[in-house]
Amino acid sequence: MTSLPPNYNPFGSLDFYIGKDHHEIIKTYSNSSDDSDDQSSTKIFHNMREGWLIALALGVRLGIREQSVERAKIGSAGYIKDPIAITFMIAVGINELCLKDNPIKVSNMLEDEKINEILKICEEYVNGGARTLKTLIEKGKYKPDYMEKFSLNLLRFIEDPASVQEEDGLSAVIQ
On whether residue 7 sits in a domain, the answer given is no
Label residue 69 exposed, middle or buried (CB < 10 Å: 0-12, 13-18, 19+): exposed
Domain-located, residue 118: yes
The answer to whether residue 51 scores a pLDDT higher than 70 is yes
CA–CA dist 114, 123 (Å, integer): 14
**pLDDT at residue 130 greater than cutoff 70:** yes
CA–CA dist 52, 7 (Å, integer):
21
Is residue 2 situated within a structural domain?
no
Task: Write the pLDDT tens digit of every residue in 2-39.
Answer: 566 777 888 888 888 899 988 888 888 887 655 455 55
4 belongs to a structural domain: no
CA gap 59, 132 in Å, rounded: 8
Q: Is residue 8 part of a domain?
A: no
* H or E element that contains 19: strand 16-19
- What separation, in Å, do the N-terminal and C-terminal C-alpha atoms of the chain show? 43
Q: How many Cβ atoms from other residues are within 10 Å of residue 117's Cβ?
A: 16
Contact residues for 144 (Cβ-Cβ < 8 A; gap 6+): 42
Residue 126 has pLDDT above 90, yes or no: yes
Domains identified in the chain, total number: 1
- Give the count of beta carbons closer than 10 Å to the beta carbon of residue 112: 10
Residue 128 inside a domain? The answer is: yes
Weakest mean pLDDT among 57-61, 67-71, 171-175: 171-175
Q: Does residue 6 lie within any of the structural domains?
A: no
Identify the domain containing residue 72 by its residue range.
16-174
Are 24 and 128 within 8 A, CB to CB? no
Q: CB–CB of 127/22 below 8 Å? A: yes
**Mean pLDDT calculated for residue range 142-164:** 61
Query: The whole model's pTM is what?
Result: 0.74
Q: What is the CA radius of gyration of the chain?
A: 17
